[in-house]
Amino acid sequence: MRTLFLCCATLAALGLFGCSGSSTPNDAGTSNDAGVDAGDEVSHTISVSGTVALNPIVAAAYDAGILTGTPPAFDGSPLYIDEPLTVIGSGVEAGRLVTSSLDDSGTFNVPEVPTDPINIGLVGTIGGLSPDAGFAACDADTGTPSFCEHFAPSASLVWEDYKPTADITDVPLYGVPVAFTELLADKLGEAPGQHALDQGLVLGYVVAPDGGAMAGVTFNDQGDNYNVRYFDDDFNPVTTGGATNRYGMFAIIAPGQPDITKPMGIDGYPDAKCHFVGSTPGTVFNLVYDARRPGIDCH
């Protein structure tokens, strides 16, 4: 992977960056070999395709019975392709390139994503613009409101190498049901009516070299807002010390804007490299550390 800029970041300083194309192959199985001439006025488009699934940590919570019931279906859920720098500087609507929807196939294919407006990359977001409409705590006495069964605005990386010049394939997008964020809110002891999404949330997943979850790893303390929270195998927060649990999980509540001078990496796992970390209120960002799809160089 190349430079990670999050849709859910609020880094106005990124507007100082000049962005250009690259001829380096990316981790999605595509290459930027085509190139774009600086004076080319032709409107370019690409397609973005891949798979959609529950975040593996959420799936594990259902499998373990910690989350009960049936996971929500993706069928009919909105899918947005956004340019993160524009989102950061001018808002979600300004950065929205394509609006589509998901079916029940487990795959997606979004054609004709315009590349001219792309500055630093692309993110895919499953779910609504904001949880504000009808967002209230689940009521066990009267039944679970529909929002508890649906996906929170769940952002995942699509492309992080400035302006793509070829179709992007094999992209994984992960959904996080609001029910899981409410589970974390309950475990963290938030007051009634408060939600883990209120301040923004990073849900992290560490993948071992064999492709399974990687337990027992810790992160460095780079970045002012990178307050990493660890949880036990029942998703209870660990108050002292801690490391990723059997599900490879960590979380960051209210990370704010990413510190682009201090990417966050894993102690003793250099092959996964580093990522920048950030989130805005109302969004959960799926952040995966995986040596098979490594991040940027750590510094």
Q: What is the pLDDT of residues 214-265, one digit of tens each?
A: 999 998 765 555 788 999 999 999 988 899 999 999 998 877 666 667 778 8
CB atoms within 10 A of CB 150: 19
Query: Number of folded domains in the chain?
Result: 1
Does a structural domain hold residue 237?
Answer: yes
Output DSSP code: residue 236.
P
CB atoms within 10 A of CB 89: 15
Backbone angles phi, psi at 109, to 5 degrees: -150, 105
Residue 138 lies in a domain: yes
pLDDT in the model for residue 148: 61
**Which residues is 284 bridged to in the sheet?**
154, 201
Residues comprising the chain, all counted: 299
In a domain, 208, yes or no: yes
| pTM (two decimals) | 0.78
Sign of torsion over alpha carbons 33, 38, 40, 42: positive
Helix (H), strand (E) at residue 53: strand 45-54
At residue 188, the pLDDT reads 87
Residue 297 in domain: no
Q: Is residue 150 part of a domain?
A: yes
- Segments in the chain below pLDDT 50: 1-40, 129-137, 140, 142-146
Domain that holds residue 103: 46-290
Residue 136 in any domain: the answer is: yes
Identify the sign of the CA torsion 252, 200, 255, 51: positive
152 is a domain residue: yes
Q: So what's the pLDDT on residue 122?
A: 85
209 is a domain residue: yes
